[in-house]
Amino acid sequence: MNKSSITEQALLNTRTKIAILGGGVAGSTIALRFAELGLDTTLIEKGPSLVNGPPICHLHAGGNLYREISDEQCLTLLKQSIDTVKVYPQSVNIRPTVIALPKTDHGQPMDLLPRLEKLRDRYSELVEQDHRNKVLGEPAGYFRFYSRTEIDALVGKPIPSKATRASDWLISFANCTDLDKLKFPVLLVQEYGLSAFRFAAIASLAIERLPSCHLQTNSQVIAVKANEDNLGWQVSIKQSGSEVIQQQQFDYVINACGFKSGEIDDMVSAKRQRMVEFKAAYVAHWSQCKGLWPEIVFYGERGTPQGMAQLTPYPDGYFQLHGMTQDITLFDQGLVASSLQSAQPKLAPQFIEKIDKKWPEQLIQNRTLGSIEHMAQFVPEFSSATVAAKPLFGAQQIPGEDPDLRAADVSFHGKHYARAEIVKASSALAASDAILANLVECGLIDDVLTSEGAEIVLKDYLTEHYFPVSQQCSDSEITERAVLLAKQRDYPVALAKNL
C-alpha cells in the first residue's frame, strides 16, 4: 500500500463518528478498545462516572459457579476471562475459589469432574498456543479436589497471610467451616475475583488520556433517530440539571445501556426479546477474620431456601455475600421479560425506586443479616459479622429467553446499529471485537489506522487486543482512583483495594 492511500484511509477512520450509549463495563471497554486504535469515539453516560451499574466481583474463568449452564458457555467464559486478565490485570483479585457441596445438595462433587477436565484441557491448549494466556497459573493446577482427610490435616494450623502452596488457601476454610455439613471431596479451582472499582478506575484514567475518546457524563440519551439516508444517526442528549437538548450526528451507534437497552431499541423501532433481572449482593465486616481467605461457594438450588451461598473476600475483614434465595440475592418478580410492544422489560416500581433512589434502611439490615445467617449455616463464626454498607445491587439484561444464559456478547440490527448484550463483565472484550469487525464490514473503518502517529494494520488487531494506554496505568494510581470512587459511592474503601 502506498503512502497516499494510507493517509486517505486514516482520514476515513478519523471521519467516522461512533457513539457509544452507556458507560458501564460494556460501553467503557468498547470505548477503550476503539480509542486505543485512534477511532473517533463518543461515550455518552447518564450518570456522573463510569462503570457504576450492577456489581461485579467474580471473573468467571470457567463458569464454575453455574452448574446449570452448558459446557460450551463455560469454555467461552474461560477464554473471555483470560483475555480480560491480559487487558486489565490490575482489576483482578488473584485468589482461588473453594466449591463445596452441602449434604443437603442433590449433586455429588465428582459430577463436576468431566467439565473441569474439559476446562483444564482447553486452558492448556490456550497456553500452548500463546504463553501470554497463562494467567490462571499452571494449567495442571487449574483445579484440585481435597478429601476429608486432607482437609482435616489442615484443621488447627495457623491461617497464613500468604500462600506458598495451593493447600494454604484451604486453611481458613478447614478451620472455620462446619465440615460435617459437607460432602467430600471439596474443590479448589482457579476462579479469581474481578474488582468493579478497579475496573472503573482503569476505564476512567485511560479514557482521560485517549484524545480520540470524547466522554460525556451526566448526559442522558433521550432520542435516537435514523438520518434520511438510513446510514447515520441523530442522537438527542439531555444534560443533568439542564432543560437544553443537544443534537449530535454519528455514523454508527452502539447501544450499551445495560438493563435499559430496550429503551434505545424502542427509540429506533428495533425489536428484541430480552429479560431483565434485579439482584443484590451484601457487604459485611467480620472483625475476627484473620489471614488468607479464598472465595468460598456452597452450592445449592437457585431460588430455594437452600440457594447457593457465596463468600467473596476483600482486605481488612470485608466480605461480599450472595445467597441465591428469594430473601437474599433474588427477589419475587425480580425477573421480567420484554413484550411484543416493547423491547424494554418493565421492572416493578419497587425495583426502579431502589435503583434510582435508595433502599429502606430496615431492608438493608434485614437482607444483609439474612445473608450473614445464610453463610453462618456453614461458617458458624461468621454469625458475628456486621452490616458494613448499603447493598451492591442492580438490574442486568439477559438477551433472548433463557434466564440461565451467562455467555453473551452482541447483536446487530439494520445498518450501523449494534447492541452490547453482555451478562458477564468478561464478555465485554468479545463484544468490542465483534463490533469492530462489523465496522470494517460496513466500510466505515479501513484496514489501516493511525494511532498516536503510528500506522496499524487493523486486521492484525481484530482479535489481538491493543490497549497500550490502559495498560500504562500504574497500580498506585488505579488504587487511588478506585478508593476515591468507593468513597464517592459510599462503600468501604477495602472493596477498591487488591487482596
Ligand X SMILES: Cc1cc2nc3c(=O)[nH]c(=O)nc-3n(C[C@H](O)[C@H](O)[C@H](O)COP(=O)(O)OP(=O)(O)OC[C@H]3O[C@@H](n4cnc5c(N)ncnc54)[C@H](O)[C@@H]3O)c2cc1C
- Our finding on whether 25 is near ligand X (CB under 6 A) is yes
Q: Is 189 in the site for ligand X (CB under 6 A)?
A: no
d(CA 299, CA 224): 44
Q: Pick the piece of the chain touching ligand X (CB under 6 A) from 17-25, 90-98, 109-117, 181-189.
A: 17-25
Examine residue 207 and tell whether it contacts ligand X (CB under 6 A).
no
Taking CB under 6 A as the binding criterion, the range among 132-140, 297-305, 354-362, 391-399 that sits at the site for ligand X is 391-399
Which amino acid is present at 155?
V
C-alpha 348/C-alpha 336 separation (Å) is 9
Which DSSP string do the residues of 1-27 spell out, in sequence order? Answer: --HHHHHHHHHHHHH-EEEEE--SHHH
Binding status of residue 276 toward ligand X by CB under 6 A: no
User: Taking CA 352 as the corner, what is the angle to CA 350 and CA 354, rounded to the nearest 5 degrees?
Assistant: 70
Which residue number, 151 or 336, has a Cβ lying nearer to ligand X?
Answer: 336
Residues 219-248 that bind ligand X (CB under 6 A): 220-221
In the three-class reduction of DSSP (H, G, I as helix; E, B as strand; rest coil), residue 65 is classed as coil
Q: Does 458 bind ligand X (CB under 6 A)?
A: no
Separation CA 408–CA 422 (nearest Å): 5
In the complex with ligand X, which residue's Cβ is closer, 50 or 154?
Answer: 50
Amino acid (1-letter code) at residue 274? R
Q: CB nearer to ligand X: give 290 or 346.
A: 346
Query: Quick one: which H or E segment has residue 312?
Result: strand 309-313
Helix (H, G, I), strand (E, B) or coil at 143: strand
Among 17, 33, 46, 302, binds ligand X (CB under 6 A): 46
The correct pick among 6, 12, 14, 47 for binding ligand X (CB under 6 A) is 47
Q: Is position 21 an interface residue for ligand X (rule: CB under 6 A)?
A: yes
Scan residues 421-450 and list those touching ligand X (CB under 6 A): 422-426
Give the number of other Cβ atoms within 10 Å of residue 225's Cβ. Answer: 13
User: Which residue from 279, 354, 374, 419 is in contact with ligand X, where contact means CB under 6 A?
Assistant: 279
- Using the rule CB under 6 A, which residue among 18, 24, 69, 319 binds ligand X? 24
Query: Least separation, in Å, of the C-beta of 433 and ligand X?
Result: 16
DSSP secondary structure string for all residues of 83-95: HHHHH-GGGEE--
Of 253, 205, 159, the closest CA to residue 467 belongs to 205
Please state the closest distance from residue 159 (CB atom) to ligand X, in A: 25
Tell whether residue 296 is a contact of ligand X (CB under 6 A).
no
Residue 334 interacts with ligand X (CB under 6 A): yes or no:
no
Question: Which of residues 259, 282, 331, 467 is near ligand X by CB under 6 A?
Answer: 259
Minimum distance between the CB of residue 9 and ligand X, rounded to whole angstroms? 31
Query: Out of 62, 394, 399, 492, which residue is the one contacting ligand X (CB under 6 A)?
Result: 394
> What is the rounded distance in angstroms from the CA atom of residue 19 to the CA atom of residue 52?
19
Nearer to ligand X, 146 or 331 (CB): 331
Cα torsion for 261, 262, 263, 267, to the nearest 10°?
110
- Name the one range near ligand X by CB under 6 A: 40-48, 138-146, 153-161, 352-360: 40-48
CA distance 336 to 338: 7
Greatest extent of the chain over all pairs of C-alpha atoms, in Å: 74
Query: Is residue 399 close enough to count as binding ligand X by CB under 6 A?
Result: no
Tell whether residue 418 is a contact of ligand X (CB under 6 A): no
Please tell me the distance from the alpha carbon of residue 405 to that of residue 52, in angstroms, as a whole number. 23
Judge whether 159 and 171 are in contact, CB under 8 Å: yes
Nearer to ligand X, 13 or 396 (CB): 396
| Phi–psi pair at 333, nearest 5 degrees | 65, 20
Q: What is the CA radius of gyration of the chain?
A: 23
By beta carbon distance, the residue nearest ligand X is 24
- Strand residue runs (E) in 22-91: 40-44
Q: Please give the grid coordinates belonging to residue 416.
A: 450501523
Q: Which of 442, 406, 443 is nearest to 422 (CA)?
A: 406
Contact with ligand X (CB under 6 A) among 16, 19, 20, 23: 23
Give the chain's length: 499
Does 258 participate in binding ligand X (rule CB under 6 A)?
A: yes
**Closer by beta carbon to ligand X, 185 or else 294:** 294
How big is the site for ligand X, counted in residues (CB under 6 A)? Answer: 39
Considering only 17, 33, 58, 374, the residue that binds ligand X (CB under 6 A) is 58
Q: Tell me how far CA of residue 10 lies from CA of 437, 443, 445, in angstroms.
A: 17, 13, 9
Q: Of the listed pieces 55-63, 153-161, 408-416, 490-498, which binds ligand X according to CB under 6 A?
A: 55-63
Q: Which is nearer to ligand X, 21 or 485 (CB)?
A: 21
Binding-site ranges for ligand X (CB under 6 A):
21-27, 44-47, 52-58, 60, 194, 220-221, 256-260, 279-281, 393-394, 396, 420, 422-426
